[in-house]
Each structure stands twice: as structure tokens, then as C-alpha cells.
Copies of this chain bind each other. A is one copy, B any other.
Amino acid sequence: MQGTTAQPTSPPAAYTPTDRTVPTRSADRASYDKDLVHAILDAAYVCHLGFVRDGAPVVLPTLYGRVGERLYVHGSTGARPLRMTGQADPGLPVCLTVTHVDGLVLARSAFHHSINYRSVVVHGIAHQVTDPEEKRAALDALVDHVVPGRSADSRPANKKELAATMVIRLDLDQVSAKLRTGGANDEPEDLDLPHWAGVVPLRAAYGAPLPNGDLAPGTELPSYLAAL
């Protein structure tokens, strides 16, 4: 900045790469841009949460929510990964990964077949959320992650439900995104082969909402669902 007066500092626009977040392969596909990371996280429904149990890895799909630079995962107080983040212990090392498959990449050579994708990998220590305000906000974020605005149009959790639900927090700190876009990258000597090459795009498509059979008469489809 060339200005001579102090500027208001905005938060850094990128995560700092670390040994854990710089990939060993295709490092040119990696990004640490916060806006990109947030966009990838917010557009998916399920993450894959990895933790270590008895020395072996476990990877489970689960819902999640984001509030700023914090991710939240919830579950029953009886669920294994949540139990493992006891309030008194130093937290649970986790790896939380979100992936969108955007296209099938068909090359002339078998070797160069690939997938177009956007993924985010978050490393860190998950901690149990004990503050009641933070827990409520996290549960709202989890519901709003399924459909934005939905938490305001549903019955909030009552005392019993709150007690039965454990929420864990993972800070966005050791984070990287990785993307592949574009067509097939064949070897120059393969370009004249007769095999078709290119991309078959893939996206998530919504079907028409299916109302519950026990819906109270006269309950209309909310506009935020009709717009999906």
C-alpha cells in the first residue's frame, strides 16, 4: 500500500501452508485462499471425518456446519468419535475432508484418465463445545448447512435434545483446497489416436421435494425449498 496513513487491517485472505497442508503431489493444484475454501465447504452436505482408534484410521461421513473460521460436527453423546473428545482431555486429532466431483476426465491414454474435483482438507484438534451459546449457534449452523435459513423455520432443540447432542469444534487453521479443472492432458504423441477425449460434467441435482405423509394439512412448501 502506498498510502501514508494506517489502513484498517483486514483478516488475511489465505491460510498459511504448513508441512501437513502442502501436498506431496500436484502442489500446483493446491490453494490456501480462504474464500475458495469457504465456498467449497459451504457447497457440500457431507464431510468425511478421520480419526485414529486403537492405532488404526477410521473415516466416517457426517454432517457439518461452518461459523466463520470454525467447523462444527455433531452427534449423539454415545457416538464414538464424539466420546473420544472428552471435556477433560486435550482433544482429538482429526482430518476433515470435503470433496465435490465435478467431472469425469477421459483421455486417449488410460494413464491420463482423471476426475475434475474441488476438495478441502482440514487438519487439527477437535474439541468438545461446552459453552451453551456456542453450542446453540453451532447447531443452528448445522441445520442451516442443510438448507440456508432452515434453523429459523424449525423447532429449536429443547433441553433434553441439547443434553443428548455433543458438538465438536475444529478451527480452520491447517487447511488446503485442491482442484482439478479443464480437459484431458494427453501426451503429444497420443493426440491423433482415435479415442474420444474430454470431460463429462457432473453436478448434484435436486429432485422435487417429497412432503412427509404425516404433514399437517395446509402446510405449504416454503419458498427456500421451492427455489432449490
Contacts and interface: CB of A to CB of B under 8 A. Distances in A.
Interface of A: 20, 24-25, 45-46, 48-52, 55-61, 63, 75-76, 78-80, 93-97, 99, 101, 103-104, 106-111, 113-115, 117, 119, 121, 123, 139-140, 142-143, 146-147, 150-151, 153-158, 161, 165, 183-184, 186, 190-216, 219-222, 225, 228
Contact of A139 (B110, B139, B150, B192): B110
B208 A201 contact: yes
B206 A225 contact: no
Contacts of A203: 204-205, 207
Contacts of A49: 59
Nearest to A192: B216
Given A59-B97, A196-B215, 19 more contacts: A24-B78, A45-B101, A46-B99, A48-B50, A48-B97, A52-B55, A58-B121, A61-B99, A106-B154, A108-B155, A109-B161, A110-B154, A183-B213, A196-B219, A197-B211, A197-B212, A198-B209, A200-B228, A201-B209
A69 to B, nearest CB: 20
Given A110-B156, A203-B207, A210-B198, A104 B52 contact: no
Given A111-B165, A202-B207, A57 B48 contact: no
Given A101-B46, A109-B157, A117 B61 contact: yes
Contacts of A199: 209-210, 212
- In the complex, the count of this chain's copies comes to 2
A51 to B, nearest CB: 5
Nearest to A218: B194
B210 A196 contact: no
A147 B199 CA distance: 11
B202 A204 contact: yes
Contacts of A59: 48-50, 57, 59, 95-97, 121
Nearest to A139: B110
